[in-house]
Chains A and B, each alone.
Chain A
């Protein structure tokens, strides 16, 4: 059964879209990340134009993050003050990101920029995660191995505007979360991701937040950044396909249920290793598409109405 997507202006099989939503929802249930970094490339693979894929993923992300945050909030695992400060940077970053998106669209290079961003980020992240999880698995076999220091003091802790974050038990410069929010905001606008897979490690390793409050807080600010991106994309580029986002959400909800149950049965480092493999596979596929001789040397870009 095909469904016509009014903004993407293509007909796609509704079960494929539900399947993609379910697969990404499953992963986000297992790994506790939004899954936007897999959603956008998958949509591009099945034939959704890259700009529409990016903008509609952001829209889908709003819904996915709301349901995630509510779950964490009920357990009291959300640092609202930290989320708010991350958000200040995030909104500013996403405005710059949308501007860059429109600029590259005009130059006819947006598809390339999106693909390149994905290859670089997914490649680096996949390698880092793969190496780290392998080490963790090896360390488990040798229980006598050295433990990591709990807190390292770097120049980052010397920045001004020190602020206390009670829930996260931190006393750090507000510039750190603002900067982090900004960087993730730019990427989320250009790549259609919430940035959970960047935000979560940065919150743990750079800010030093306790792991219990990280996913909920990250998701909280993602709601607002993704909502901002959706609004701006709809306004400047007319690329948000709400029908597509809704179909993906329906699939995502079902997938997340199974994912959460499956996730509790696997061990942390095994999970991370698995995720690293998936991330690397997506990066490799995208890199392959960029370097292989294209079927058509010429493409036509119609001026959007």
Chain B
């Protein structure tokens, strides 16, 4: 995804979410609002820092762009392992991480954690088709386990450190395989086990440079891309045969 398209989408989010950001008894920002995936990208860390106007706890969630994804279960058919059963979930965040100054279940009431979807257990995974609840639960657990193994979901929370009573900071480490798109960093101020203030900041993860250009071109002008790929191969083949001409 190009930066320009990401920005347009990110602006849309900011406009949509600005009413929440208006109760500003918490202010936070990121050390960088974009992660550039370049050739040789091995992951990135982003520092979140901010201040609150009085005592309280801070809980931060980072959500990746949402996408439909299908979980397949392998089964043995005639001695061969094949994808046999599947459940497709609608709008699943492709990345999810929590940071908190105190364990989230101590800082928040279960109701508040559920409402603000804090913690992987509070994420809603909705199957796109009618699936028995038993099976939906099995595939939801599998989805979480696979995503956790891939490093894009985390059950545990990162620690938010306070400097004095007002200032806080934490670091998010993103693995090399993070999906591209617009991420939302939601920062909540918590008092008496409930959210009293919030702020949302976008974080853009995009391919940049030659790779991004190639990826974009391959998707937006697929036919031309295919033709160029063929022409490059023909040229390379012709060049390769030159040294053998007199053989």
Chain A contacts to B: CB under 8 angstroms: 1-4, 6-7, 10-11, 59-68, 70-71, 74, 108-109, 111-112, 116, 223, 227, 230-236, 238, 240, 242-243, 245-246, 249-250, 252-253, 256-257, 290-294, 296-303, 305
A210 to B154, CA, bound (A): 64
B24 at interface by CB-CB < 8 Å: no
Which A residues touch B143, using CB under 8 A? 298, 300
Q: Is the CB of B240 within 8 A of A253?
A: yes
* Closest Cβ neighbor of B207 among chain A residues: A6
Partner of A11, one of B42, B212, B238: B42
Would you give the shortest CB distance from A223 to chain B, in whole angstroms? 8
On whether A112 and B146 interact (CB within 8 A), knowing A67-B237, A303-B69, the answer reads no
B47 at interface by CB-CB < 8 Å: no
Chain B contacts with A in 120-158, Cβ cutoff 8 A: 139, 142-143, 145-147, 149
Which B residues touch A11, using CB under 8 A? 40-42, 176
Q: Is the CB of A6 within 8 A of B215?
A: yes
Tell me the interface secondary structure of chain B in the complex: helix
A-B contact pairs, 19 of them (CB 8 A): A1-B40, A6-B214, A6-B215, A10-B177, A11-B40, A64-B237, A66-B237, A67-B237, A71-B241, A74-B245, A109-B82, A116-B80, A234-B223, A234-B229, A253-B236, A257-B243, A290-B81, A298-B72, A303-B67
A230 to B226, CA, bound (A): 6
A280 to B230, CA, bound (A): 31
On whether A231 and B226 interact (CB within 8 A), knowing A64-B237, A245-B233, A291-B80, the answer reads yes
* Closest Cβ neighbor of B152 among chain A residues: A300
A63 to B243, CA, bound (A): 15
Would you give the shortest CB distance from A250 to chain B, in whole angstroms? 8
On whether A232 and B226 interact (CB within 8 A), knowing A2-B40, A66-B234, A67-B240, the answer reads yes
Which B residues touch A2, using CB under 8 A? 39-40, 42
B172 at interface by CB-CB < 8 Å: no
Which A residues touch B39, using CB under 8 A? 2-4
Chain B contacts with A in 67-85, Cβ cutoff 8 A: 67-74, 79-83
Chain B contacts to A: CB under 8 angstroms: 1, 37-42, 67-74, 79-83, 86, 94, 139, 142-143, 145-147, 149, 176-177, 179, 207, 210-212, 214-215, 218-219, 222-223, 225-230, 232-238, 240-241, 243-245, 247
Tell me the interface secondary structure of chain A in the complex: helix
Which B residues touch A235, using CB under 8 A? 222-223, 226
A253 to B146, CA, bound (A): 40
Q: Is the CB of B226 within 8 A of A63?
A: no
Would you give the shortest CB distance from A300 to chain B, in whole angstroms? 5
